[in-house]
Amino acid sequence: MDFAIRPAAPGEFDALGEITARAYLDDGLLDFGESDEYLGELRDVAKRAAAADVLVAVDGGRLLGGVTFVPSGGPMADIAGSGEAEIRMLAVDRAARGRGAGEALVRACVDRARATEGCVRIVLSTQSTMHGAHRIYERLGFVRTPERDWNPIPHLDDITLLTYELTL
């Protein structure tokens, strides 16, 4: 591993927001493309950092990607309940993929969850087409929890997020 995982610095928020937005757009993960409301959430790293832990993978001065770790619920949690931490918005720059940055970011979240008092599980939501991310999660011991799958936009029946969990 020729990169480091650390908390995002405020000066990196805009760049990480753009990496995250581009990853979702370029991978076809936003149903409404450039007009998707979620795009603003993906770009707003400062908002995430105020409510959760934002971690980045960096190689020297180059930002490779990032993830949001939500310890024990909180305003950034989508599905985490009592005693659960949550992983959100994992994204790696397309040019940096295949180097292990995504897996290292997930591992860092698992380590943080294990160090969080009272945390017994880490959970996440993912889209059905995020096959690369699914391979990372499964390699690290996450298991599917179909009973927790959910729809972030209830008035659109065709959007269902898959869920995974790792018992610590």
Note whether 1 and 104 are within 8 A (CB).
Answer: yes
**Residue 148 CB contacts under 8 Å (≥ 6 apart), including other chains:** 79, 123, 163, 165
**pLDDT values of the chain reduced to their tens digit, one per residue, 168 residues:** 689 999 999 999 999 999 999 999 999 888 777 888 889 999 999 999 999 999 999 999 899 999 999 998 778 999 999 999 999 999 999 999 999 999 999 999 999 999 999 999 999 999 988 988 999 999 999 999 999 998 887 666 667 899 999 999
Is the pTM higher than 0.85?
Answer: yes
SS3 call for 100: coil
For helices 131-139 and 101-115, angle between their N-to-C axes, nearest 10 degrees = 50
Phi and psi of 121, rounded to 5°?
Answer: -155, 150
DSSP state of 7: E
Sheet order of strands, 121-126 included? 4-7, 53-59, 62-70, 84-92, 121-126, 162-167, 143-144
For domain 4-167, say whether CATH 1.25.40.10 is its number: no
Distance CA 121, CA 46 (A): 26
